[in-house]
Chains A and B, each alone.
Chain A
Amino acid sequence: MTNELAILTHGLTKSYGHDEVVRGLDLSIGRNRITAFLGRNGAGKSTTIKMLLGLIRPTAGSGTVLGKQISDAKQNREMRKRVAYVAEDKPLYSYMTVEQTINFARSFYSDWRIDVEKRLLLDSELPANRKVKSLSKGMRTKLALLLAFARRPDLFILDEPSEGLDPVGIEYLLRTLVSSSADGVSIFFSSHQIAEVERVADHICILEKGCLLMDASVDQVRHSYRRIDMVFPTPPSERDFRIPGVESVKTAGHQMSVFASRNAEEVVERAHSLSAVSVEVAPVGLRDVFLETVREN
């Protein structure tokens, strides 16, 4: 089972003093799929990624990436040979040129594909002899992504990969993610851009205040999440709709709105039994699911 998972954590926790940034995180990220890691700023996404890569040590709990223990320095090093990581702020050595940066990164990985490197360099129009410190933010992002995509790893871990890219760059990135996934590469990426996530992700995990609130496939979310808008002559109590699967109930005058992760049919039946004048059931987008999920918690 472990070998079928790209990432597996048990009770992964990180505290700074009394501040618990990640709380008992249980993640099971399958291989060969695109998993989006969502959460508000400060939710603990980057901290989790840093723990997975061995940059920081978990306060409690354990985890494996590609079957290697994250807390074991030697195993973590072995794992990093098979993982391509792009950090949130796209760090690059300012004193190197683009070409020196690529040569430097290439020397560490046996899975480097020179043909892909040349193509990406050409497509991204990166000036090979220019110092990294004089590149624009977008160019730096392109270079950071090139260092990852020129490889053929088993797993991509990408922290806000589209940040700083123009729409053309974002489109290119999303297509690359999809084609890499089709080639059998597992992808785990964090993003605030829900529209991008909705386009490419197979699976989503939502983190809030260090806790995992949702771990579901995008299809599952699309099929089961519904918003039910109802109008009543006299609105009933919100408690009448507190049934399993109902995430939130809101009342505004004669209108009531129920956000349900499942059991939408039962909500509709109950609305009719409570003399609803009008009942409308609508599918909800990932953006609404995300907002409702983090708002409720």
Chain B
Amino acid sequence: MLWYKAWLETRSRFLTSLATLTMFSSIFVHHALYIACMNTLPCSEEIKSSEWRSEFHRLLFINQQYVVIMWILAVVLLAMGGLVREKALGTSSLTLTLPVSRARLMRVRVAMGVFQAIALGVVPWVSVFVISSRARMPISITQVGSYVLLLIGGGLVYFAMAILISSLITGEYTAPALTFGVVLLAAMLFDNWLRRFNVWRLVTGDFSIDRNTFLLSKHLPWPGILASLSAAALMLLASVMAVQRREF
């Protein structure tokens, strides 16, 4: 039933985010196809040309940039709540007097968030794939899979950061606002001084894209993804420890 509670707590945020991301991606790709067909006739001939293929792949790359922004917004909002927030609302005394450990409460919350974050990465890209395939656009499942992998594998660190901050800071809006601040600051600082380690560029596919074909490389930046996942795991561990030590 802790899963049920975690679902009820986050479902409106999750479903709103999922609908927004999926609709945005679908409309974005569909609109591109519409523009292509309006400008050049016959449409099917245009789609077959190599320029258009490259243009379409660039479009997918741009779609990933927007998806990343919205996905980070969504996962930070999903990470809102938890025991520290419950303390402010007064419900932590109900949750913490249940015969379950704080670690288990955190595990369920994090696991639900991870599943939702995965769904928020997969579903929009699946809809893009379905729409593009039906319109006979040049889209491959490998490219879509790579974008999703980069988004989730690299991006979970943002979710973990949001969980950590929400485990340390009480305010309803303070924690997400601070997380967005840290995300932006980290992106700017890393871009200026440690560009190779910029998670933002890892997640958007900037490190893996071929600038001529706009296709993602077959060799994904696994060290970066693993480093990002490790950092996420450490942050989540720190969150559990913070909640275990905290007084409610």
Interface of A toward B, CB cutoff 8 Å: 50, 53-57, 73, 77-78, 80-81, 83, 85, 87, 89, 91-96, 100, 103-104, 107-109
A77 — nearest CB in chain B belongs to which residue?
Answer: B99
Q: Which residues of A contact B247 (CB under 8 A)?
A: 55-57
Expressed in whole angstroms, the minimum distance between the Cβ of B247 and any Cβ of chain A is 4
Contact A81 B99 (CB under 8 A): yes
Q: Which residues of A contact B100 (CB under 8 A)?
A: 77, 108
Query: Inter-chain contact count A-B, CB under 8 Å?
Result: 64
Q: Mark B1-32, 1 if CB is under 8 A from A, else 0.
A: 10011001100000000000000000000000
Give the distance in Å from the alpha carbon of A103 to the alpha carbon of B4 in the complex.
Answer: 10
Q: Is B97 located at the chain interface by the 8 A CB criterion?
A: yes
Expressed in whole angstroms, the minimum distance between the Cβ of B27 and any Cβ of chain A is 30
Contact B93 A91 (CB under 8 A): yes
Q: Which of A77, A81, A85, A93 contacts B5 (CB 8 A)?
A: A93
A85 — nearest CB in chain B belongs to which residue?
Answer: B97
Q: Which of B5, B8, B90 contacts A91 (CB 8 A)?
A: B90
Give the distance in Å from the alpha carbon of A54 to the alpha carbon of B8 in the complex.
Answer: 26
Most buried by A among B92, B93, B101: B93
Q: Which residues of A contact B1 (CB under 8 A)?
A: 103-104, 107-108
Extra contacts, 20 of them, besides A57-B247, A77-B99, A93-B9 (Cβ < 8 A), are: A55-B93, A55-B97, A73-B101, A78-B99, A80-B97, A83-B97, A87-B94, A87-B97, A91-B89, A91-B90, A91-B93, A91-B94, A92-B91, A92-B94, A94-B89, A95-B8, A96-B5, A100-B4, A107-B1, A108-B98
Q: Which residues of A contact B97 (CB under 8 A)?
A: 53, 55, 80, 83, 85, 87
Q: Is B168 located at the chain interface by the 8 A CB criterion?
A: no
Give the distance in Å from the alpha carbon of A82 to the alpha carbon of B4 in the complex.
Answer: 23
Contact B9 A95 (CB under 8 A): yes
Q: Which residues of A contact B89 (CB under 8 A)?
A: 91, 94
Q: Which residues of A contact B4 (CB under 8 A)?
A: 100, 104
Q: Is B123 located at the chain interface by the 8 A CB criterion?
A: no
Interface of B toward A, CB cutoff 8 Å: 1, 4-5, 8-9, 89-94, 96-102, 244, 247-248
Give the distance in Å from the alpha carbon of A83 to the alpha carbon of B93 in the complex.
Answer: 13
Q: Which residues of A contact B91 (CB under 8 A)?
A: 91-93
Q: Which residues of B contact A94 (CB under 8 A)?
A: 89
Give the distance in Å from the alpha carbon of A76 to the alpha carbon of B102 in the complex.
Answer: 12
Q: Which of A78, A80, A103 contacts B98 (CB 8 A)?
A: A80
Dominant SS among interface residues on chain A: loop
Give the distance in Å from the alpha carbon of A219 to the alpha carbon of B99 in the complex.
Answer: 36
Q: Which residues of B contact A103 (CB under 8 A)?
A: 1
Q: Which residues of A contact B98 (CB under 8 A)?
A: 80, 108
Most buried by B among A55, A57, A73, A103: A55
Expressed in whole angstroms, the minimum distance between the Cβ of B246 and any Cβ of chain A is 9
23 of the cross-chain contacts (CB-CB < 8 Å) are A50-B248, A55-B96, A55-B97, A56-B248, A57-B247, A73-B101, A73-B102, A73-B244, A77-B99, A77-B100, A83-B97, A85-B93, A85-B97, A87-B90, A87-B97, A91-B89, A91-B90, A91-B91, A91-B94, A93-B5, A93-B8, A93-B9, A107-B1
Contact A104 B93 (CB under 8 A): no
Give the distance in Å from the alpha carbon of A20 to the alpha carbon of B56 in the complex.
Answer: 68
Beyond A104-B1, A107-B1, whether A54 also contacts B96 by CB under 8 A is yes
Most buried by A among B91, B97, B100, B248: B97
Q: Which of A53, A57, A89 contacts B90 (CB 8 A)?
A: A89
Expressed in whole angstroms, the minimum distance between the Cβ of A56 and any Cβ of chain B is 4
Give the distance in Å from the alpha carbon of A132 to the alpha carbon of B100 in the complex.
Answer: 23
Closest 5 CB pairs of A and B: A107-B1, A81-B99, A91-B91, A56-B247, A87-B93
Give the distance in Å from the alpha carbon of A93 to the alpha carbon of B85 in the complex.
Answer: 12
Give the distance in Å from the alpha carbon of A42 to the alpha carbon of B9 in the complex.
Answer: 32
Contact A93 B94 (CB under 8 A): yes
Expressed in whole angstroms, the minimum distance between the Cβ of A106 and any Cβ of chain B is 8
Expressed in whole angstroms, the minimum distance between the Cβ of A77 and any Cβ of chain B is 5
Expressed in whole angstroms, the minimum distance between the Cβ of A131 and any Cβ of chain B is 11
Contact B248 A55 (CB under 8 A): yes
Give the distance in Å from the alpha carbon of A112 to the alpha carbon of B4 in the complex.
Answer: 19
Contact A108 B99 (CB under 8 A): yes
Beyond A56-B247, A104-B5, whether A50 also contacts B94 by CB under 8 A is no
Give the distance in Å from the alpha carbon of A108 to the alpha carbon of B108 in the complex.
Answer: 15
Q: Which of B8, B90, B99, B248 contacts A80 (CB 8 A)?
A: B99
A73 — nearest CB in chain B belongs to which residue?
Answer: B101
Beyond A77-B101, A78-B99, whether A96 also contacts B93 by CB under 8 A is no
A144 — nearest CB in chain B belongs to which residue?
Answer: B94
Q: Which residues of A contact B8 (CB under 8 A)?
A: 93, 95-96, 100
Q: Which residues of B contact A92 (CB under 8 A)?
A: 91, 94
Give the distance in Å from the alpha carbon of A104 to the alpha carbon of B100 in the complex.
Answer: 13
Q: Which residues of B contact A85 (CB under 8 A)?
A: 93, 97
A53 — nearest CB in chain B belongs to which residue?
Answer: B97
Q: Which residues of B contact A109 (CB under 8 A)?
A: 99
